[in-house]
Chains A and B, each alone.
Chain A
Amino acid sequence: GAVVSQHPSWVICKSGTSVKIECRSLDFQATTMFWYRQFPKQSLMLMATSNEGSKATYEQGVEKDKFLINHASLTLSTLTVTSAHPEDSSFYICSARVGGTGQLNTEAFFGQGTRLTVV
């Protein structure tokens, strides 16, 4: 299957600082990427849908000013957690879908995830 790479795999940061997580589709172009958050023992929660060249669409309850998403190219989307707090500590996972917006029967591939710990 197609490869999606996240960087970094884990990061520790101090409260009040910002952290940027990168998501790259390595061998395909992704018009649409998705960002998820997962707390221990819970399922993945969709945070936002990232579209290349346009503003991200955030799910209800997700603060767009805190979780900044940029999708500047067809192979790269970034999530920046601004002014991080300990409650933002979580497993962040990105996903990229093969194919354009008109091809909804194609699979999405996931990155390996980024473990964020805010101290």
Chain B
Amino acid sequence: DAKTTQPPSMDCAEGRAANLPCNHSTISGNEYVYWYRQIHSQGPQYIIHGLKNNETNEMASLIITEDRKSSTLILPHATLRDTAVYYCIVRVYNQGGKLIFGQGTELSVKP
């Protein structure tokens, strides 16, 4: 299974862009990168996913490098409610597409 590496914690000022990096150097060509976040004592919330092209939705943008060995999740205008643990996950291609969670990045958005 492809593993991901994320910084354990990051701070961001409210209103500024939050850029969360993720390394996944062993990713296979057909494996997708998924991002979820978990606010304390809740179930994870889906944010975005991609294969090799950059993706954008109403929540965030996902930038994947050309060699696909790393990616960055961008929250364009962070708010206090974006404080959460963010998980970058490479989806397992077989076995029903299960999601294996790493330790994630604890993002603190400060006023």
B97 CB contacts on chain A under 8 angstroms: 32, 97, 101, 104, 106, 108
Q: How many A-B residue pairs have CB under 8 A?
A: 65
6 contacts between A and B (CB under 8 A): A49-B95, A57-B96, A97-B96, A104-B91, A105-B49, A110-B45
* Distance, CA A111 to CA B44, complexed state (A): 8
* Distance, CA A36 to CA B104, complexed state (A): 16
B41 CB contacts on chain A under 8 angstroms: 91, 113, 115
- Contact surface of A with B, Cβ cutoff 8 Å: 1, 4, 6, 32, 34, 36, 43-46, 49, 51, 57, 91, 93, 95, 97, 101, 104-113, 115
Given A93-B44, A113-B41, A113-B43, also A108-B104 (CB < 8 A) = no
* Other-chain contact of B96, A36, A51, A105 (Cβ < 8 Å): A51
A49-B101 in contact (CB<8A)? no
- Minimum distance in angstroms from A47 CB to a CB of chain B: 11
Residue picked from A34, A44, A109, A110, most chain B C-beta under 10 Å: A44
What per-residue 1/0 map shows which CB atoms of B36-67 lie under 8 Å from chain A? Answer: 10100111111001010000000000000000
In the assembled complex, B26 has its CB within 8 A of some CB on chain A: no
A49-B96 in contact (CB<8A)? yes
- Minimum distance in angstroms from B50 CB to a CB of chain A: 9
* Other-chain contact of A95, B99, B102, B104 (Cβ < 8 Å): B99
Interface residues on B, range: 20 to 34
A1-B51 in contact (CB<8A)? no
A105-B32 in contact (CB<8A)? yes
B45 CB contacts on chain A under 8 angstroms: 110
What per-residue 1/0 map shows which CB atoms of B90-111 lie under 8 Å from chain A? Answer: 0101011111111110000000
B42-A112 in contact (CB<8A)? yes
* Other-chain contact of B87, A43, A106, A113, A115 (Cβ < 8 Å): A43
**Chain A residue nearest in CB terms to B87:** A43
- Minimum distance in angstroms from B41 CB to a CB of chain A: 7
